[in-house]
A and B are shown apart, each in its own frame.
Chain A
Amino acid sequence: MVNDFVVDLSRAQFAATALYHFLFVPLTLGLTVLLVVMETIYVTTGRDIYKQMTQFWSKLLLINFALGVATGLTMEFEFGTNWSFYSSFVGDTFGAPLAIEGLMAFFLESTMIGLMVFGWDRLTKAQHLTVTYLVAVGSNLSALWILVANAFMQHPVGAEFNPVTMRMELESFGALFFNDDAQSKFVHTVLAGYLTASVFVCGISSWYLLRGRHVAFAKRSFRVAVVFGLLSSVGVITLGDALGYVDAKVQPTKLAAMEGLWTAEKAPMPFNAIAFPLQDEQRNAFEIQVPYMLSLLVTHSLDGTVPAVDELEALARARIRNGIPAVLAMEKLSSSPNDADARSQFEAHKADVGYALLAQRYAPDLTQITDEQVARAARDTIPEVWIVFWSFRIMVGLALLMMVYMLFGTLVSLANEIEKRRWFLRLGLVMLAAPFISSEVGWLVAEVGRQPWTVFEKLPTWLSASTHSESYMIFSITGFVLLYTIFAIVEMFLMVHFVRKGPEEPAPHGAVQTAGGY
């Protein structure tokens, strides 16, 4: 009935295309806001160097934006093409914020970005500044609605499962929107975007300073970006902590994986700073622990505890058993919605529908399920620990590193000694990779940590996938790999080309400027 290989290929394709898309999104989010800062300074002070800055960085934004839009189209298609049951299961809830994103945010951003690029000669200064603001507002609102949608996958609130229409139906729009997961993740993600753009601008400015090119331009760009980046890095870490606090409550399995926590322990719990998790044996081959730290970090107290994998699996086994009558009732309600017995059987067990569906992967006929099948399904509720564990540590490590970098950069830049610290400028080039890696592993923590669910505890991943053949999946993956590789090469080529070319210096001899065009 279900081809595991097709499910795996669908997951691989979605993960690859989402990670790829997420290379471009944070930079767009942050650069639009940095452009607002630069252009505001230009309009209020009238100093041309800020116009030069705005125009140069907006050119790089455009190259990046084009790919963000292109790869974003893929994401919108993929829910339907590859996750068709997921789509009909959540369209009533998840679909709404996605559509509102288009209405409220993406339309604004896309319409205004055209004016931002083409409108320099057509709009007044104030009009153009307004347009730039609207681009930033649009891109940030866009992130808000996408993350409201994503939060529903992580923490499905504001909706109720309907056993006749076989989907989550909206109960409260307010609850959907004010999902605490959505709110903290929104701020965390946009701040990560601001940090990305800051590191990007600092890194490229450092390169100019190392070469002694466009010095005034680079120093000023660096200063604007570094101050902005420092504030963002502090914020991103604070909100990351808040998000961890929310996750601890709503997704204990993700947290257990994040911390490599296999067996129950008493408070105050130690924190595994480094460990080599072995999924099959359910233990860490090696660990370096910091006493008391986990309780402090996660529960913000010394006597708080965090459930471990063994406890969570035991819980899952019970919930699978409890959910089975509900799924059996759904099978009846599907064709006869007015069957009162089936309805009351469903109502009594509805909390655990998702768990029974998870087990159906191993026991298509749930009435015949064995203990061994239940145990296997319960084991599935724990995500790949090593991926989540290490992604989390890389993300946090890089975030701290970027904060220190931004702090030092701010001090040096304000003291006007940036050109003297050549090692620091070289470090800036290396740091260019940091925010991108950090965003990618951040996505892995959030989404691999959510497994084996597409909608946490409601809909298992294996059931969500479209019923395609293997050849369809191989065709599409091949196409994406080819196309996206070409995109990456073209994008890098253009970025490097325009960075090398640098900003247009004001032409002292009245020479013709040829930026933007060719």
Chain B
Amino acid sequence: MALSRRREATDMESAAVEAYMALEIVWWVLLGVLLTGIGVMVGMDMGVGTILRYVGRTDGERRVALNVIGPHWDGNQVWFVLGGGAIFAAWPLVYATAFSGFYIVMLLLLWSMIVRPLGFEYRSKMPSERWRAVWDSALFVSGFLPMLVFGAAMGNVLQGVPFHFDWLLRSYYTGSFIALFNPFAILCGLMSVSLAVYMGGSALASQAAQPVAGRARTAAMAAAIIAIALFTIGGFWLAGLDGFQLVSGPAPGMQQTPLHQQVVQVPGALLANYAGQPLLWAFPGLAYLALALGLVLHLARRPFLAWWLGALAWIGVMGSVGASMFPFLMPSVTDPSHSLTIWNSGSSLRTLGWMLGFTLIFIPLIVWYTSWAFWMMRGEVSVQHVESSEHSY
């Protein structure tokens, strides 16, 4: 039945293949946008959590820091929720394989993340010093650890993960949990923590009163320097790693699963795309340029602009990762042929299409009302302001 239909409507069929391929690429880019959104928005709040006890020496100062992001962290966190939901809907095999494979790490990420809403909401509800100290630690852990895991997950995905499928496409993870914290992954994790501290520090530098703003600026500048160093080390390290290469398989845009292809591991393949398309160097270039310029802007005491350059740096870093990996999403080291690529792990044409429609309508709306929320809550947050307000954290 399928065969006769194919003969009759070859044109329609090839149009569908092209549309599917286009949608897979669009959703790959959107995946990058969402992960960047997580880095920029959630990372900023988590950066504030990480440096909370450094920028705030007294309770009043810490409250200043918390109240700068207070009205927004809840909305920002949805980038994370949306990231999870979008991977589930657009890349179900990636969601299934990564979340179950990284089980223990995912739980540590989850547990540290779910303490965060309580840290924000509950900290200021009681005046006791011990109560607040406990929530301060909670906010530190829930800022530092998720960003570490976020980066470490990227690091593991770059290196490949030990998993394979059975004929029904059930995934089996065969690595240990400790192996996920290998040196390269930790380096990537620290990279993501330093970008988070940069974002958080820049946000505080631009909206908090002194002395919080001054300390936040120092933290942001230190973070930018560390990020530049880690990015450089990571780049050289990555050049020596085994990458992956698609040897054969169905053409992009055709229906396929990870059971239909041949993949081999090749040393240095993570830079193969750059060799083929030198324009891609623009991504690491952007990361360097943005961080360096951000540093200069902090020196010139323009923290608001410096924040935006941090966002550009995230785009540069995420873009670099994507450019290295393409077309892989999550390669397998135990059976490279079972690697997940953007051609074999996406949802169907119809689902990707519907989801794109909703995204095109709602992302602009989200950006619009988020901007409105930031605009309404603009202005400096000071100790005096926090302590006199009825509604602050």
Partners in one complex: yes
A483-B114 contact given A104-B358, A164-B257, A170-B354, CB 8 Å threshold: yes
Is A171 interfacial (CB-CB < 8 Å)? Answer: yes
Whether A113 pairs with B74 at a CB distance below 8 angstroms is: yes
Bound Cα distance from A495 to B3, whole angstroms: 65
Q: How close is B294's CB to chain A, nearest CB, in angstroms? A: 26
Q: Which chain B residues in 140-195 approach chain A with CB under 8 Å?
A: 167-173
Complex Cα gap A514–B366 (Å): 33
Provide the bound-state CA to CA distance between A113 and B93, in Å: 34
Give the complex CA separation of A515 and B389 in angstroms.
Answer: 9
Given contacts A99-B90, A468-B103, contact A69 B74 (CB under 8 A): yes
| Given A96-B351, A164-B257, A81-B106 contact (CB < 8 Å) | yes
Q: Is the pair A111, B369 in contact by a Cβ cutoff of 8 Å?
A: yes
* Cβ contacts under 8 Å, B98 to chain A: 80
Interface contact A513-B390, CB-CB below 8 Å: yes
Stretch of B50-58, B118-126, B312-320 on the interface side: B118-126
Task: Indicate whether B19 reaches chain A with its CB closer than 8 angstroms.
Answer: no
Which residues of B have CB within 8 Å of A335? 167, 259-260
Contact with A117, one of B96, B111, B391 (Cβ below 8 angstroms)? B391
Map CB proximity to B onto A239-280 as digits: 1 under 8 Å, 0 otherwise. 000000000000000000000000000000000000000000
The answer to whether B373 and A120 have CB atoms under 8 Å apart is: no
Bound complex: CA A121 to CA B106 (Å): 40
List chain B residues, Cβ under 8 A from A82.
100
Contact status of A62 and B121, CB under 8 A, knowing A87-B96, A99-B85, A334-B259 = yes
**Contact among A102, A476, A487 with B81 in the assembled complex (CB-CB below 8 Å):** A102
Q: Is A126 an interface residue, CB under 8 A from the partner?
A: no
CA distance A74 to B84 in the complex (A): 11
- A23 CB, min distance to chain B CBs, angstroms: 15
Tell me the A310-357 residues at the B interface (CB within 8 Å): 330-331, 334-335, 337, 340, 343-344, 347
Identify which of residues 99-114 in chain A touch chain B, using a CB-to-CB cut-off of 8 Å. Answer: 99-104, 106-108, 110-114
Chain B contact-residue range equals: 35 or more
Contact B389 A92 (CB under 8 A): no
Q: Return B176 CB to nearest CB of chain A, in Å.
A: 11
CB atoms of A73 and B391 under 8 A apart: no
Query: What A residues does B386 contact at CB under 8 A?
Result: 517
Q: Which of A170-198 contact B (CB under 8 A)?
A: 170-171, 173
For the complex, what is the distance from the CA of A362 to the CA of B114, rounded to whole Å?
A: 39
How far apart sit A507 and B168, CA to CA, in the bound complex (Å)? Answer: 68
A472/B118 in contact, CB under 8 A: no
Interface residue? A284 (CB, 8 A): no
Q: With A84-B99, A114-B70 in contact, is A98–B85 under 8 Å at CB?
A: yes
Q: A74-B110, A95-B92, A118-B377 are known contacts. Are A80 and B99 too (CB-CB below 8 A)?
A: yes
Give B290-340 interface residues, CB cut-off 8 Å to A: none
Nearest-CB residue, chain A, relative to B257: A165
Tell yes or no: B255 within 8 A of A by CB.
yes
Name the interface residues of A48-104: CB closer than 8 Å to any CB of B. Answer: 62-63, 65-67, 69-74, 76-77, 79-82, 84-85, 87-88, 90-93, 95-96, 98-104
Q: Are A84 and B355 in contact (CB under 8 A)?
A: no
CB distance from A125 to the nearest CB of B (A): 14
Q: Is there an interface contact between A334 and B167, defined as CB atoms closer than 8 Å?
A: yes
Q: Shortest Cβ distance from B33 into chain A, in angstroms?
A: 13
Q: Which of B89, B116, B350, B377 counts the most chain A CB atoms within 10 A? A: B89
How many Å lie between the Cα of A70 and that of B104 in the bound state? Answer: 18
Whether a CB of chain B sits under 8 angstroms from the CB of A433 is: no
CB distance A98 to B88 under 8 Å? yes
Which residues on the B side are within 8 Å of A343 (C-beta)? 1-2
B103–A87 touching, CB < 8 Å: no
- B residues in contact with A472, CB < 8 Å: 103-104
A466 at the interface (CB under 8 A from B): yes
| Bound: A74/B370 CA distance, A | 25
* CA of A154 to CA of B373, assembled, Å: 38
Give, as a whole number of angstroms, the nearest-CB distance from A300 to chain B: 36
Minimal Cβ-Cβ distance residue in B for A120 = B391
Residue B362 lies at the interface, judged by CB distance under 8 Å to chain A: yes
Chain B: minimal CB distance from A11 (Å): 15
Q: Does B376 contact A (CB under 8 A)?
A: yes
A479 lies within 8 A of B351 (CB): no
Q: Closest B-chain residue to A467, C-beta based?
A: B172
Q: Does B363 contact A (CB under 8 A)?
A: yes
B362 touches A73 (CB 8 A): no
Residue of A nearest to B174 (CB): A467
- Tell me if A288 is interfacial: C-beta within 8 Å of chain B: no
Task: Provide the bound-state CA to CA distance between A515 and B390, in Å.
Answer: 5
Interface check B29, CB cutoff 8 A? no
Bitwise, B68-90 to A at CB < 8 A (1) or not (0) is 00111111011011101110111
Among A69, A166, A169, the residue within 8 A (CB) of B77 is: A69
Q: List 25 A-B contacts (CB under 8 A).
A: A77-B107, A79-B95, A80-B88, A81-B106, A82-B100, A87-B96, A96-B351, A108-B369, A110-B75, A111-B78, A122-B376, A122-B377, A123-B376, A165-B169, A165-B348, A166-B257, A167-B92, A170-B350, A173-B354, A334-B168, A335-B259, A467-B170, A483-B114, A494-B126, A517-B387
Given contacts A84-B96, A103-B366, A170-B347, 15 further A-B contacts (CB under 8 A): A71-B114, A80-B98, A80-B99, A81-B110, A87-B99, A88-B92, A98-B85, A107-B75, A110-B75, A114-B75, A114-B377, A165-B255, A335-B167, A494-B122, A494-B126
Q: Which residues in A have some Cβ–Cβ distance to B below 8 Å?
A: 62-63, 65-67, 69-74, 76-77, 79-82, 84-85, 87-88, 90-93, 95-96, 98-104, 106-108, 110-115, 117-123, 127, 162, 164-167, 169-171, 173, 330-331, 334-335, 337, 340, 343-344, 347, 463, 466-468, 472, 475-476, 479, 483, 487, 490, 494, 497-498, 513-518
Of all A-B residue pairs in the complex, the 8 with the closest CB atoms, nearest first, are: A91-B92, A80-B99, A95-B89, A111-B75, A99-B85, A84-B100, A66-B121, A70-B114
Q: Which B residues form the contact surface with A (CB < 8 A)? A: 1-3, 67, 70-75, 77-78, 80-82, 84-86, 88-93, 95-100, 103-104, 106-107, 110-111, 113-118, 120-122, 124-127, 167-173, 255, 257, 259-260, 347-348, 350-351, 354-355, 358-359, 362-363, 366, 369-370, 373, 376-377, 386-387, 389-392
